[in-house]
Chains A and B, each alone.
Chain A
Amino acid sequence: MSIDSVFVHKMWNDHELSKMVKGGIPFPMLSDSGGKVGTVYGIYDENAGVETRGRFIIDPDGVVQGFEVLTPPVGRNVGETLRQIQAFQLVRNSKGAEATPSGWKPGKKTLKPGPDLVGNVWKEWKTDMAFD
């Protein structure tokens, strides 16, 4: 979503993005001229008249599980967004029985929060697991 009109979105998709992504952008390119939606989400920069790089993960109940906001010159890490979605999906599927510690990615060990884990995380999780 940006402040550009849907017409500009079409031009950008047809003339540039479709050269990067075969078949063009596979998801809706939303227009927020005036920044009304961006304002509600707290990422609209009124002085510059543009939206900053806000990214919101919304679960199937419509609840915001996470967000990240960057100033325009620095791009996102899509892999990290996907990792977070995978983690939120795992936690949701376990109905809260499992949690993903720092550095978790698919295949890595999860934690099972409960009285037995209090004071014993050091047995289950080592600092090198925070890194890839």
Chain B
Amino acid sequence: MAEEIKAGCARPTGGPVGEPVQEKTENKENIIKEVSQMIKVGQKAPDFTAPAYFKGKFVNIKLSDYLGKWVVLCFYPGDFTFV
């Protein structure tokens, strides 16, 4: 499911997939509208890919690969933090 990635010198990164990335416009109102958009319950979780460390390997994870399963997605401030 998850493709393994080679450990090189560059930091692997991921990002949102599927949804078109909105171009930043000159119009300030539009920008504020975009930023204030929050996830809503009952709506699709935005798909993304992200590099991960999983059972001794570096892999790429895509959220939509987990369709058919329950997923808990947890964010936290940083590794080696206390809480």
Chain A residues engaging chain B, CB cutoff 8 angstroms: 1-13, 16, 24, 26-34, 36-38, 40-43, 48, 50-67, 72-76, 81, 85, 88-89
Contacts and interface: CB of A to CB of B under 8 A. Distances in A.
Interface in B22-62: 37-48, 50-55, 58-59, 61
Contacts of A36: 13-16, 48
Interface residues of B, number: 48
9 contacts: A1-B74, A2-B75, A2-B77, A6-B12, A9-B79, A26-B55, A28-B61, A36-B15, A52-B77
Interface residue SS majority, chain B:
loop
A18 to B, nearest CB: 11
B83 A74 contact: yes
A130 to B, nearest CB: 21
A2 B53 contact: no
